[in-house]
Amino acid sequence: MTTWHIITGEYPPQPGGVSDYTRLVAIELARAGDAVNVWAPAPDASESVEERIIVHRLPGHFGPSALRILDRALHATPGRILVQYVPHAFGMKAMNLPFVMWLYARRKMDIAVMFHEVTFPIHRSQSPRQNVLGMVNRAMAAIAARASRRIFVSTTSWGKVLRTLIPVGARVVCIPMPSNIPVVNDREGIAAVRRNYSPAGPLVGHFGTFGPGITSLLDKIVPALLDEVPAAHTILIGRNSEQYATAIARERPDLVPRVHASGSLTPCEVSMHISACDLLLQPYPDGITTRRTSAMVGLAHSVAIVTNSGHLTEPLWSERQAVAIAPANDIASSAALARDLLGDTERREQLAKAGASLYEDQFDIRQTIAALRAA
C-alpha cells in the first residue's frame, strides 16, 4: 500500500475541472488499495465523505499557516506527494513563489507534479502586468518541475513548454485527462431527455462551463447550424448554460424554442443528457487537446464530436480520426461538418465508435492510475 498526499487548489464541493479530476484520481487510487490524503483549501459548502480518502482542509490559500500544517503532516506520515499544478490555484494572484520554493526545499521527498497548465503567455501585445505574470509563472513552473522526481503533463504541448524551463534530459510524461462523468446506461432516462428537448429532430449538444473563449465560438456556430438544419435543437449542458442560453436569446430571439439549457446537473443527469445527443459541438480557442475533459466525456459516451484544430492540438487527433475537426478559426467549416454529420447516420456512428476506441486506449482513468503508481 502506498500513502499519497495530493495537494490541490480545489476539491469538491469546490467546482472546477481540476477539482473533479482530483476527486476521480483520489477515488481510483483508494480503490487500488492505497491510502489517500487530499490537502485543499476550505470550501464554502458542506462536503461528502469518500471511503478511504481523508480530506484535510487548509487555512487560507497556501500561505505560511497552510504550509506549516502540510510540513508537519508530510514528516509525520511520509508518502508520495502529488501536486495538481495550476498557477492560479495556489493564491497570491497566480504568483505564489513561496509555495513553489517550499516545494523545492523538499525536493528529496517523493514529489510528482501534474501540470494542468504551465504559464500565462508572454507577448508584447499584452500589458506590462500580464507579462510580469507570465514571467513569474515561468519561474514558478521551473521551480516546481525541478522539485519533482516525476513530471506529468495533461498535453504534450505543455511538455514542450516545460522542456524550455528544465534541465536537458529530464523526463516529462503525458497523462491525458479522463472523463469525469461515469457512463450511465439508463435507456429510459436517456429517451426521456431526448423527448423533452427534441422529440422529432436531431439534438446537438455542448458540454462545458461556457467560458467566454468558448462561447465566442459557439455564438457563431450554433446559429449557423440551426439555420441550416431547421429541425435541429441544441441542448447546452453544464454550469452557466442558462445564462448563455439567455445571451443567445437576446441576439436571436427566433431560436429560443430550439435552444435549451440544462443548468447544473448531477453526474448521472449529465451522462443521460450527453447520451441523448446525436452529436456534440466542442470548439476550443486553442484547439482540441488531450487536456480537454469536456471532449473526453463525449468520447467516453460514444457520441460523435465536432471540434477544431488549434496551436495546441496534438497529432493523434488527425491520426486516429476519432473526431470531426474543422480548421482553426473556420466557423463555417465547423457548422458544415455538424450539418453533414446530422445527415449521415453511418458516418456519425463510425466517428462515435472511433472516439470510444481512442478513449479506451489512451484516456481511460485506468491509464492515469497506472502511470501515477508506476515506480
pLDDT by residue (tens digit) across 58-88?
A: 999 999 999 999 999 999 999 999 999 999 9
Supply the pLDDT for residue 285.
95
User: Is the model's pLDDT at 47 over the cut of 80?
Assistant: no
**Last residue of one domain, picked from the residues 107, 142, 175:** 175
Considering the domain architecture, whether residues 339 and 206 belong to the same structural domain is answered as: yes
SS (H, E, C) the chain: CCEEEEECCCCCCCCCHHHHHHHHHHHHHHHCCCEEEEEEECCCCCCCCCCCEEEEEECCCCCHHHHHHHHHHHHHCCCEEEEEECHHHHCHHHCCHHHHHHHHHCCCCCEEEEECCCCCCCCCCCCHHHHHHHHHHHHHHHHHHHCCCEEEECCHHHHHHHHCCCCCCCCEEECCCCCCCCCCCCHHHHHHHHHHHCCCCCEEEEECCCCHHHHHHHHHHHHHHHHHCCCCEEEEECCCHHHHHHHHHHHCHHHHHHEEECCCCCHHHHHHHHHCCCEEECCCCCCCCCCCHHHHHHHHCCCEEEEECCCCCCCHHHHHCCCEEECCCCHHHHHHHHHHHHCCHHHHHHHHHHHHHHHHHHHCHHHHHHHHHCC
Which of the residue ranges 151-155, 169-173, 289-293, 343-347 would you say has the lowest mean pLDDT? 169-173
Q: Does 244 share its domain with 296?
A: yes
Q: In the structure grid, which three cell numbers stand for residue 56, read together?
A: 484535510
Same domain, 100 and 136: yes
Q: What is the reported pLDDT for 169?
A: 85
Decide if 268 is inside a domain: yes
Same domain (yes/no): 136, 202:
no
Per-residue pLDDT for 49 more than 80? no
Identify the pLDDT of residue 194.
96
CATH number at residue 198: 3.40.50.2000
How many residues appear in the chain?
A: 375
Average pLDDT along the chain: 95
**Residue range of the domain that includes 282:** 187-363
**Residue 264: pLDDT over 90:** no
Residue at which a domain ends, from 140, 175, 210: 175
- 277 is a domain residue: yes
357 found inside a domain:
yes
- Is 80 exceeded by the pLDDT of residue 375? no
pLDDT recorded at residue 172: 95
Q: At 195, list the grid cell.
A: 423527448
Q: Do 221 and 146 lie in a common domain?
A: no
Look at residue 239 and tell me if it is in a domain: yes
Whether 57 and 69 have beta carbons less than 8 Å apart is answered as no
State the total domains in the chain.
2
374 part of a folded domain = no
Question: Is there a single domain that holds both residue 160 and residue 213?
Answer: no
Which pLDDT band holds residue 184 (cuts at 50, 70, 90)? very high
Strand 324-326 relative to strand 304-308, pairing: parallel
C-alpha 304/C-alpha 28 separation (Å) is 27
Q: Is the pLDDT of residue 191 over 70?
A: yes
- Give Cβ neighbours of residue 236 (< 8 Å, ≥ 6 apart): 205, 206, 210, 244, 245, 259, 260, 261, 262
Closest CA to 278 of 184, 206, 188: 206
Record the cell numbers describing residue 7, joined without a space. 495537494
Task: Clarify whether residues 9 and 97 are in a common domain.
Answer: yes
- 213 and 243 in a single domain? The answer is yes
List, for residues 318-334, the tens digit of each pLDDT value. 999 999 999 998 989 99
pLDDT higher than threshold 70 for residue 337: yes
Share of the chain above pLDDT 70, in %: 99
**Domain C-terminal end among 118, 149, 175:** 175
- pLDDT at position 159, please? 93
Q: Are residues 219 and 147 in the same domain?
A: no
User: Across residues 172-181, what is the average pLDDT?
Assistant: 95
Q: Is the pLDDT of residue 46 over 90?
A: no
pLDDT digits (tens, 9 = 90+) for 277-289: 999 999 999 999 9
Inform me whether the pLDDT recorded for 48 exceeds 80. no
Per-residue model confidence (pLDDT) at position 220? 94
Q: Is residue 195 part of a domain?
A: yes
Over the range 263-298, which residues count as b (16 or more CB within 10 Å of their CB) and which as e?
eebeeebbbbbbbbbbbbbbbbbbbbbbbbbbbbbb
Q: Which three cell numbers stand for residue 15?
A: 467546482
105 and 226 fall within a common domain: no
| Domain match, 168 and 305 both | no
Mean pLDDT of 211-215: 95
pTM for the full predicted model: 0.91
Q: Within this chain, do residues 86 and 217 fall inside the same structural domain, yes or no?
A: no
In a domain, 235, yes or no: yes
Q: Note whether residue 368 is domain-resident.
A: no
